[in-house]
Amino acid sequence: MIKGRDGKAIAYTFDEIKEKYAAKERWEKAHPILAFFKTYLWRFPVYVLPEALRNAKYKLLYFYQRNTRGFSDYDYFDTGNYICQHVGKVLEFFAENTHGYPVDTTYDEFTSKVKRIANAFKTYAELDEKQSLEEDENISAYIQKTISEEQHYENSKAISLKYKTIRGELCKTMAELFEDCFISKLWD
């Protein structure tokens, strides 16, 4: 609900909203200079600059927190992905820049195992986004009536099972970092 100037609620239909936006576009085409001033010279100091200052405040706070305690409140919000992303990056850097390797393996075997574990961590961090995209496609197909409710339900179960299986396989690969104290062999 949108409130009018008198404080009473105004309900618009979809067609009325479309007409309001069409009228706004017509006005902007008829008055390009005024539209430019309204869009860029009014929006920047009133909307964009204050938002940028608020974001800068938080970025500085997070920078300070990462410097003092090693992680920020932002990182704490999604700890699992934070850990997976950073462990994956560190292991990938380690595999590319290592000079030594354990005596019970070759250099190529050692670096390929580290790269495989790093890839598992990085892939695990990206899974939530991929699963959300597939679920969104399934929901939009159901909303657009291209699939039935039963098909939507079956697709949801299949997507959930697919990503549960992938996560299980990735967790087994990530666990190799701690099996037989492999983590203690990461030195250079």
Residues 91 and 4 placed together within one structural domain of the fold: no
**Would you place residue 64 in the very low, low, confident or very high pLDDT band (cuts 50, 70, 90)?**
very high
pLDDT of residue 123: 94
Residues 167 and 104 placed together within one structural domain of the fold: yes
pLDDT of residue 92: 94
Residue showing tokens 């050692």: 110
Number of structural domains in the chain:
3
| DSSP string computed for 97-124 | H-----TTS-HHHHHHHHHHHHHHHHHH
Parent domain of 185:
78-188
Residues 100 and 184 placed together within one structural domain of the fold: yes
pTM (2 decimals)? 0.66
Residues 17 and 43 placed together within one structural domain of the fold: no
pLDDT of residue 44: 76
How far, CA to CA in Å, does 30 sit from each of 21, 23, 38? 14, 10, 14
Residues 20 and 54 placed together within one structural domain of the fold: no
Residues 169 and 155 placed together within one structural domain of the fold: yes
